[in-house]
Chain A
Amino acid sequence: MAALQTSVPGAAQAPTERPRVKRKRTVGQRFRHDWPLLLLTLPAMAQLAIFFYWPSAWNVIAFMDYSPHRPFWENPIVGFAWFGRLFSDPYFLPALGNTLKFALAQLAFVFPLSIVLALVMHSVVSTKIRSLFQSVVYLPYFFSWVLVVTVFVQMLGSDGLVSNLLLQSGGDRLTFMTDGDSFVFLAWMQWAWKDAGWGMIIFLAALASINPSLYEAAAVDGAGRWKRMWHITLPGIRPVIVLLLILQLGGILTVGFEQYQLQRDSVGFGATEVLDTFVYYRSIIGPQSESFGTAAGLFKGVIGLILILIANNVAHRLGEQGIYQKS
């Protein structure tokens, strides 16, 4: 006891641990120390510089009347004229509308499907069935859109398997794969087929992270299956749902490209035109105007950037992490 009493004031009196002053090393010293790491990073930085930042800088042609056939400096600067043209273009606003429509359809129908799949899967007791089912539903995620569209045409197209079965039993052919009005429905089926199973993965992980003793305690207290789901399961995965929802809202202008481009001829371009296809057909395919297409692409890029920043801000305010950190 005595020893303790003497040692305590002793410890308080002796600030022997000098607050460590970090010796500031010069850049040269740090380079001599860190150069291997920098060297390892170099290929990636070169790739980014050439194929991300350089093209990003080329976006200046959205403010010029650019033609690839004359030297760069001879292209007249037109300011925001192309952006004004965007909104008077008869096809731009419909493309923007389609983009939002598809993005919202994805949010409203594919996202919940992933959650439902995850909930059902989570309630399956047998490990074998679970892993078998998972291997099946993840698989189409790795298929290309060409393959998905091919399979859909063969199954549900007007000459497809289902049409033939319908014909044989006295019915009519299916025509919805070439019908612009029902394209959202078709697109939804394709997303569900290709991506919903993969989307389940993160919800399954969130479900697996819920403490099982919560369920046990609730069951002991007399909460039934549905009550447990409502009061434990759903609150347990709510942060993940909110976060993913916000992030998807941030990416709302990017709904994919190949799916629409591949079905443009069969469905008609009115129904399938989204911002990305608009940019492609206006800048690379005719009626060609490089500057106009670039302006459309830059519009999408900048609005997308703003949306993602807003989405992350909201996520941070809700105490979530978002895709980047503030610090």
Chain B
Amino acid sequence: MTTTDIRIQPRRRGDKRPSWDEEPSFLGKFVKAAFLVCYAAAIVLPIWAVVATSFASEEALSRAGGNLLLIPTDVSLKAYEEIFSGGALTESLLLTMGLTLGGTAISMVITIGAAYGLSRPGTLLHRPLLMLVLFTFLFAPGLYPSFLVVQSLGLFNSYWSLILPMAMNAFNLIVLRSFFMNSVPGELLDAAKMDGAGEFRTLFKIVLPMSKAILAVIALFYAVMYWNIYFQAVLYIPSQDVQPIQVVLQRMLMSTQGLPGAASQAAQYQSTAAAPTAALKMAVVVCTIIPIVIMYPFIQKHFTKAVITGAIKG
């Protein structure tokens, strides 16, 4: 695990074109700008339409004759009132939040412990334990064997089955470990040792406070993983009444798509009336996006570091 070849050089040019660089032609500028604007629009427009539709009244929707609006003509909070009225949708959102918070906390404890425990080459069992972690990159145990283990542990239809089987992500562990090894100065650790600080004290008082940024990124990765849980819920908790929000969203989508199998899916989704309105569906979409959008500006600037560490090293 040596260092990578990628060293980000501080961008010298700032906001100014360097003197040796020729001014691009008008056509070049235009094509570039058009490409970027189109690409950004392809991402922003659908999200905008979703938000606009979630605030639309049913009349406005039927006048537009479709599932989505681009320009809202009036503002109705009906969809959001229904979501937060305490029914199945509220329960589902609360469950998903609980899963996300609890799961992220558990994952962070496990990952931080292992990343620090494995950050000192030469300690007892260091190499074999690291190999056990790295092997998970190479092989996947398969779906049915994992299902069998969850079942035999009695976790089937328990919410724990959505947390424990994926509580530790080896990728995150390796990213954090490389950070501990390369970015926390060894002299600091030695000094702490001289002062008689044990490993736990060193971890909590020195290493963790120095790693806030990377910890935030990893926590975001875990939180997004738990927030987006869909298939694990389909697989492991089919008979729970309260399902994670992604499952609920998927069922709402199916129930109006008029597809084979939709009827049974809709029947499973008894909470709201027969066909959820487009506004309600889009309001649920907005609710699943909002937590991500809120968290992400704080951490975005640290993404690059985490991704490079993970992609090139490991």
Contact = CB atoms under 8 A, between A and B. Distances in A.
Contacts of A50: 149, 153, 164
B4 A321 contact: yes
Contacts of A323: 137, 314
Contacts of A167: 65
A208 B11 contact: yes
9 contacts: A51-B165, A61-B144, A123-B32, A161-B70, A205-B308, A206-B6, A225-B28, A304-B138, A324-B134
A7 B24 CA distance: 65
Contacts of B209: none
B24 A154 contact: no
B272 to A, nearest CB: 16
A224 B7 CA distance: 26
Interface residues of B, number: 117
Contact of A36 (B141, B199, B303): B199
Contacts of A160: 66-68
Given A161-B68, A206-B6, 20 more contacts: A37-B124, A40-B116, A41-B129, A43-B113, A44-B110, A44-B114, A44-B117, A51-B164, A56-B145, A126-B15, A135-B296, A137-B39, A146-B250, A154-B53, A164-B64, A205-B6, A205-B308, A219-B21, A293-B143, A298-B142
Interface string B288-314: 110011001100100110011001111
A209 B168 contact: no
Interface string A16-54: 000000000001001101101111111111011011111
A240 interface: yes
B117 A38 contact: yes
Given A30-B123, A56-B145, A120 B35 contact: yes
B146 A209 contact: no
| SS class, residues of chain B in contact with chain A | helix
Nearest to B21: A219
A297 B8 contact: no
A164 B66 contact: yes
Given A208-B8, A208-B9, A301-B141, A45 B136 contact: no
B149 A146 contact: no
B100 interface: no
B120 interface: yes
Nearest to B256: A159
Contacts of A153: 253, 257
Contact of B141 (A52, A117, A144, A210): A52
B305 to A, nearest CB: 9
Contacts of B257: 153, 157, 266
Interface stretch (A87-95, A104-112, A279-287): A279-287
B117 A40 contact: yes
A193 B144 contact: no
| SS class, residues of chain A in contact with chain B | helix
B110 A220 contact: no
B140 A301 contact: yes
Contact of B124 (A27, A138, A208, A243): A27
Nearest to B168: A47
B196 interface: no
B108 to A, nearest CB: 11
Interface of A: 27, 30-31, 33-34, 36-45, 47-48, 50-59, 61, 68, 117, 120-121, 123-129, 133-140, 142-147, 149-151, 153-155, 157, 159-161, 163-164, 167-168, 193, 197, 201-202, 204-206, 208-212, 215-216, 219-220, 224-225, 239-240, 243-244, 254, 257-258, 261-262, 265-266, 276, 279-280, 283-284, 290, 293-294, 297-298, 300-302, 304-305, 308-309, 321, 323-325
In the A-B complex, the 9 residue pairs with the smallest Cβ-Cβ separation, listed nearest first, are A297-B142, A44-B114, A41-B117, A144-B228, A58-B145, A36-B199, A164-B66, A40-B117, A55-B141
A284 B147 CA distance: 9
Contacts of B145: 55-59, 61, 294, 297
Contacts of A44: 110-111, 113-114, 117, 133, 168, 173
Contacts of A215: 18, 20-21
A41 B133 CA distance: 11
Interface in B12-54: 12-18, 20-22, 24, 28, 32, 35-36, 39-40, 42-44, 46-47, 49-50, 53
A122 to B, nearest CB: 10
A88 B234 CA distance: 30
